[in-house]
Chains A and B, each alone.
Chain A
Amino acid sequence: MSAVLGLILIPLAVGGLLCLLRSDALRTALVVTAVVVVGALSCSLAMRPSPMDLAELPFNAHTVSQGVMAVGIAISLFLIYVGIRARNALVVLLALAQGGLMVWFKAGPGAHVAVEQHLFVDNFGVIMALINGLVGGGICLYALGYMREYHGKAHADVRDRRPFFFGLLFLFMGAMFGLIFANNLTWLFLFWEVTTLCSFLLIGYTQTDEAKRNALRALVMNLAGGLAFALAIVFLHQKTGTIELQAALKSDKALALLPAALLCFAGITKAAQLPFSSWLLGAMVAPTPVSALLHSSTMVKAGVYLVLRMAPVVEGTKVGLLVALVGAVTFVIGSLAAITASDAKRVLAWSTVANLGLIVLCGGIGTYEAVWAGVLLIIFHAVAKCLLFLCVGVVEHKLHSRDIESMAGLVVSMPRVSVMMQIGMAGMFLAPFGMLISKWAVLKAVVDASPVLSVFVVFGSAATLFFWVKWMGKLLEVVTPPPRVSKELETGEAVALYGLSAATALACLLFPLISRHYIEPFVAGVYGLSASLEQGNVIIMIIMMALVLLFPITFLNYGRGVRVTDAYLGGANVQSSTRFRTSADTVQEVAIGNYYLHNLLNEAKLAWWGVAGSAVLLGLMFLLALLRL
């Protein structure tokens, strides 16, 4: 109990404190301590048997609920103020609508609703808490060094608001813990709104026009999701008489369908699925730790968390099928769009959108196999994607560019970072590493549930392959060896990156254990039965892993028995692999650039079609939910 409360309250308290701290040394000390404490607490949570009994709260739940209400109103008011200042009617309207709705609900129909369990922790919650605590903690450590450098020389024009920045990071983290543990939907809703608010403030951190614009866009989209959430609470109460998440899952599926559809919609907005992907892509303007936080441990994961929670309700229904389709379409479009991007962060963002699409697909299908696969995906994606973002952040600081083309020869200039990036990418798509295991599971689940959907998965993964491998190749290729970067990593960055690389590797090695001790009990708890990987396949995976790990070992034999010559340039080399004599007798440098398939794929058009298609699908979903199909 205390661990759960601690996880929610400590980050919140630390966040508040950090806002007040001006001293760099003190801040560092506090952040490190808090990260250690939160990490230890989430680990201790994982050691306990779940689900936990949290019926007895050490405080008066009613008072807390009043407090929750007050904070909720405060947030709504603040958002209205933001909307007025930005002259954005949509923000004002949405904030007003959901704030008003909640006040009305609290005062009227929901005033006397009985809530048995305000908090609830099961194995899924534990997994999410671990991700949030460890990955999120890693990001905070990384941010220490990164932000110092960020304000040092890289972005001298941006006002240094680090106290505010770190305060928000921890606030975000605390809200995420609350979101994971809350069972009372009104509480959950509050934390949901806090993450929306934090993300808005963090995306707008640099206060450039672009940042402000993108932050506002993120706000509008997430508020739309928030409104759906608020509506879901009202409908759920009206139909089933409860506002508890777990109780809703146990209630009559037909009655809970509309609220579930609304919650799925909320999840889809937060998980940046099409048609709402643009806010996540716009969020790139923020400093890298923010992107990492949004993409890996918090925010978008909150969205898919909710969708996966709703899985048992929508399973087998047309609504579920449509949710799955939105995810599937997002997966394909996101993967194809990632091919066309050369900005590393943009590639990562599209890939996040795509992978979350896969998770939403799982949630929409909703069978036990699919949910099992979805939870696996969440784990692997969180670690690997976070690692990649943080690596890109480091590279951006050193090379002053995050264009993938400028990363040529990174193995020479920043060997350590490039190796970690390779690990992250391998973790994203390559057998026998993390994501591939989950993609495999997804494929099986999809085929079992509705084979027709599998066509999206196969095309999406083919596209995924293309953009990852060409990026990997870019890091390896050394046309003109760049100079070695002197100091690759700051201490905090090093801790985070090494930790995450280890985590990526460990997650792959230990996933059978993770599956057995956390995911399977959770899935079994919901469905009565669970999926798992076959023993034989696990063994084969481990053999593959062992073979791949041999790869670095072969480098012991590096450079033996070969003769180095120039690359073939039609014989016209001018004493090197990189320069050649042209027919006009001038000397030209070799330049090599990746394919982006611009003549086949157009990012804007793809996005347009994706938005249109998924918007239609979502509309259809609400229609069917209303008709209770």
Chain B
Amino acid sequence: MSPWTRLLIYLVAAPILGGLLAGWDRRITARMQSRQGPPILQPFYDVLKLWKKENVVVRRSQNYYIFFFLLFTVFTGGLFFAGADLLLVIFALTLAAIFFVLGAYKASSPYSFVGAERELIQMMAYEPMVLLTAIGMYMVTKSFHVHDIAGHGSLLIFALPGVFLGFLYTLEIKFRKSPFDLSCSHHAHQELVRGITTEFSGRSLAMIEIAHWYENVFLLAWVFLFFAAMPALGIVMSVAVFLFMIFVDNVFARLKWQAALKSAWAVTVVLGFGNILVLSLWSGKPAAPPAVVDAPSAPVMVETTTPKLAAQPLPATTTTDRRN
């Protein structure tokens, strides 16, 4: 499949899949609470309704930020499915989230404001782990490109068990599930009214929902990446992770933001960084030995269009080696 086809499929199928996932989520949650729960298509009904409702705002410009939140979330997922650089994907994701947060700040209401601050704290909590995940994948596959990572022969999970667990931990934050549904919650039990989304209504709220669908599909696809060598297993594991998220959501109570931040960072250091440390010791030398400076008169090779940084010609010895 060419990147463009994949991109197209994502753009069309992700909201459908995301909406269905949200529907299942609500259904399963209801069943876990021995309720019947809404129809599977309920999220679609909600969004369609919201689309037709009046748009009530506190500050007129607040909705534009939400539009860009949606735009960049879609863009992020698109990059991912097109096989682009994982770091770039993360940066685009951050940009999207920042638009969301700025929209909530712009709304200038106490509840959305506190929601925005908490969302920021959550971003601060998950960002390191997400970056480390990308770095871990790079260390194993020698490429930041989703395309190459997916095409890597081995199961990444074997090399990156700690990173995987850490990633799961932050995934709970990204999915806005308990114990980390600090900035806004999908459930009846809320504390900041609706947190970051309090002041958004109508079409803007619908956009936020749709953006979450896109985002969730993209995140599950990232889970898939850990098992990309065996696609069937990957799909099973993605679904399993999703179910696990719902389970955790229903089992745990909400944490304070201090605890969320501290625990997420602790997990990042212990599991994520620990894994990477082991990996770098295991593979002996750093992933790419530093280059030698022989003489400035050496032929100048300015590399501009080669696809990968790592694929550059690198002399084998290091300065340290030579001196010894």
Interface residues of A (CB under 8 A from B): 250, 253-254, 312, 315-317, 365-369, 430-432, 436, 440, 443-444, 447-452, 454-455, 457-459, 461-463, 465-466, 469-470, 472-474, 476-479, 516, 520-521, 524-532, 534-537, 540-541, 544, 547-548, 551, 554-555, 558-559, 561-569, 577, 590, 592, 594-595, 599-600
Contacts and interface: CB of A to CB of B under 8 A. Distances in A.
Contacts of B54: 563
Interface in B139-175: 139, 144
B92 interface: yes
Given A449-B288, A554-B67, A567-B110, A473 B105 contact: yes
A432 B304 CA distance: 20
A477 B114 CA distance: 12
B40 interface: no
B130 to A, nearest CB: 9
Given A253-B323, A562-B57, A592-B110, A532 B84 contact: no
Given A476-B105, A525-B296, 16 more contacts: A431-B88, A432-B91, A455-B273, A458-B127, A472-B105, A477-B113, A526-B293, A529-B300, A532-B304, A544-B75, A547-B71, A567-B112, A567-B199, A569-B110, A592-B110, A595-B121
Contact of A535 (B101, B138, B305, B313): B305
B69 to A, nearest CB: 11
A600 B128 contact: no
A554 B64 contact: yes
B60 A568 contact: no
Nearest to A595: B117
A430 B90 CA distance: 12
Interface in B83-140: 84-85, 87-88, 91-92, 94-95, 98, 101-102, 104-113, 116-117, 120-121, 123-125, 127-128, 131-132, 135, 138-139
B110 to A, nearest CB: 6
B110 A477 contact: no
Interface in B241-277: 258, 261-262, 265, 268-269, 273, 276-277
Contacts of A526: 293, 296
B291 A527 contact: yes
A440 B88 CA distance: 8
A459 B130 CA distance: 11
Contacts of A529: 291, 300-303, 312-313
B56 interface: yes
Chain B interface extent, by class: 35 or more
B280 A577 contact: no
A478 B59 contact: yes
B307 interface: yes
Contacts of B291: 367-368, 527-529
B90 to A, nearest CB: 9
A431 to B, nearest CB: 4
Contacts of B286: 448-451
B302 A451 contact: no
A580 to B, nearest CB: 9
Nearest to A409: B108
Nearest to B300: A524
A51 to B, nearest CB: 10
A431 B91 contact: yes
Nearest to A254: B323
Interface of B: 54-61, 63-64, 67-68, 71-72, 75, 79, 84-85, 87-88, 91-92, 94-95, 98, 101-102, 104-113, 116-117, 120-121, 123-125, 127-128, 131-132, 135, 138-139, 144, 193, 198-199, 258, 261-262, 265, 268-269, 273, 276-277, 279-280, 286-288, 290-291, 293-296, 298-310, 312-313, 318-320, 323
A481 to B, nearest CB: 9
Given A540-B84, A567-B109, A568-B198, A462 B301 contact: no
Contacts of B57: 562-565
A540 B95 CA distance: 14
Contacts of A448: 286-288, 309-310
A566 B138 CA distance: 49
A524 B261 CA distance: 42
27 contacts: A254-B323, A312-B293, A316-B320, A366-B290, A440-B88, A447-B135, A454-B132, A457-B131, A458-B132, A459-B265, A465-B127, A470-B120, A473-B101, A477-B108, A478-B108, A521-B302, A526-B293, A529-B303, A529-B313, A540-B84, A544-B72, A544-B95, A564-B60, A567-B107, A568-B111, A568-B198, A600-B261
B307 to A, nearest CB: 6
